Amino acid sequence: MLPQGLPMPHVKPFAGLLYARTRPDAMARVLAPPFDMISGEQQRALVAADEHNIAWLTVADDGPGYPGVAERLARWRAEGVLQADAQPAFYAYQQCQGERRLTGFLAAVCLGPPAESGVYPHENTFAGPISDRLALMRATRCGLEPVLGILTDFGGQVSEVLSDAMAEPEVFTADTPDGATHRLWRVTDGARQQALAEAVADARTVIADGHHRWAAANAYRDERRAAGATDPDAPHEFALMLLVDELRGGVECGAFHRVIHRLPDGVDPSQPALHLGSQFTVEELSLGGLPGEAAAARMVSRLEAEAGRPVFGCCWKTGAAIVGLRDLDGLLAATDPPIDPLIAEFDVALLHRLILRPRLGCTGDFGPQACAITFEKDPVKAWRKVACDQAVMAWFVNPAPTPAVLRAAFAGLTVPQKATHFHPKPPSGMVMYDLAGS
């Protein structure tokens, strides 16, 4: 049961900016993953697929201030590539891939700190990505990509209203190269809009993905207010968000594994037991000459079998091991600063605080101060980076349970960068949020 008396998110329909050509083949060519999930190679493929792919706006290497992106967006609007809807709407969305299904609706969600907005982050943010997204927002005066928010909907009203709305003809259907099918519907009926707004009034929201976009939107709001734009209903007071029901929306929490590209002098990645000491158990993982994909699968399978207690996997060039804790309470009691019990539910947070920092000399959560730790959601890719000498070690973790993420967020706690990988993620390019009126 979540705490009572907390503010609830304020949502409203909005007149979205959408692609005018909605044929399945056309939409499949213009949708793209969120900006921070696109590699350089993937970016080149996306922009080559269509001259109007949304990646031309979201990940363009345009220099300081994004003037070229702003010009491109204005040209697309003038040419009719993008068109604004005539009336405000919520937008029902569903993504299907195999048996996996993500269902939610896009809305304009009131900005502000949690005490005002009822929207709670769960991950740390950093100045660089916020500054980048803010510069893009200033240039385009548009919210190009949605934040993904988890609604703690107790009654199921959201799912019921969306089921009715999705019985109507959709705006588009698109099959993207990753094998997912995306469908979008306008919800313009006043009764349905009111029902969705009322359902959300009994919910609270945790940011699953898009923390830097949310922070940038708040910074943009503050700039507009400082410039004298004080209308509380103005577009800049809200941000574009896809809201999904915690229990029925289909969002799942996955893990980001840690890839260690170098270690301090004297730390031998092939001797984890030596560096960890007697408070840890280190069991060699027998691989029997398995190739990288099969070896990584065996590692993940072993971790999954131990889910429910802190357990970690690691690999180095010539071997792998499963690492456990002999006395979690004792380790937590000796940790300075203390680890909050709610954060102790995140294996990845324990990995940083109990192993990477104090015992392997990785002194930060990311970047050079952490001896070049990077993040990889695909365990096979993490394993191969070690096998190909692109890294000296990789550490694997089980994902945090979604309820643990919600508990930490509502308590005002945040976890390290890339501690969670919520999926499926909504693509960019479905609907954009016009800020030009603010």
Q: Give yes or no: residues 135 and 265 share one domain.
A: no
Domain span at residue 175 reads 11-252+423-434
pLDDT by 10s per residue, the chain, length 438 = 333 444 556 899 999 999 999 999 999 999 999 999 998 899 999 999 999 999 999 998 777 889 999 999 999 999 999 999 999 999 999 999 988 999 999 999 999 999 889 999 999 888 999 999 999 999 999 999 999 999 986 567 888 899 999 999 999 999 999 999 999 999 999 999 999 998 888 678 999 999 999 999 999 999 999 999 999 999 999 999 999 999 889 999 999 999 999 898 899 999 999 999 999 999 999 998 888 899 999 999 999 999 989 999 999 999 999 999 999 999 999 998 899 999 999 999 999 999 999 999 987 544 444 457 889 999 999 999 999 999 999 999 999 999 999 999 999 998 878 889 999 999 999 999 999 865
What per-residue confidence (pLDDT) applies to 154?
Answer: 57
Q: Is residue 413 a part of any domain in this protein?
A: no
Q: What is the 3-state secondary structure (H, E, C) of the chain?
A: CCCCCCCCCCEECECCEEECCCCHHHHHHHCECCHHHCCHHHHHHHHHHCCCCCHHHHCCCCCCCCHHHHHHHHHHHHCCCEEECCCCEEEEEEEEECCEEEEEEEEEEECCCHHHHCEECCECCCHHHHHHHHHHHHHHCEECCCEEEEECCCCCHHHHHHHHHCCCCCCEEEECCCCCEEEEEEECCHHHHHHHHHHHCCCCEEEEECHHHHHHHHHHHHHHHHCCCCCCCCHHHEEEEEEEECCCCCCEEECCEEEECCCCCCCCCCCHHHHHCCCEEEEECCCCCCCHHHHHHHHHHHHHHCCCCCEEEEEECCEEEEEEECCHHHHHHCCCCCCCCCHHHCHHHHHHHHHHCCCCCCCCCCEHHHCCEEEECCHHHHHHHHHCCCCCEEEEECCCCHHHHHHHHHCCCCECCCCCEEECCCCECCCEEECCCC
- Amino acid 373: pLDDT: 87
Is 59 among the domain residues? yes
On whether both 200 and 214 belong to a single domain, the answer is yes
Evaluate whether residue 406 is within a structural domain: no
Is residue 357 located within the same domain as residue 428? no
Domain check: are 228 and 99 in the same one?
Answer: yes
Query: Residue 65's pLDDT is what?
Result: 86
* Domain assignment present for 418: no
Q: Same structural domain for residues 346 and 381?
A: yes
Residues 198 and 86 in one domain: yes
Q: What is the pLDDT of residue 97?
A: 93
Q: Is residue 315 part of a domain?
A: yes
Residues 83 and 176 in one domain: yes
Same domain, 294 and 175: no
What is the count of structural domains for the chain? 2
pLDDT at res. 437: 67
Same domain, yes or no: 73 and 198: yes
The reply to whether 247 and 301 lie within a common domain is no
Clarify whether residues 245 and 123 are in a common domain.
yes
> pLDDT value at position 370?
46
Task: Give the pLDDT score at 3.
Answer: 38
132 and 97 co-located in one domain? yes
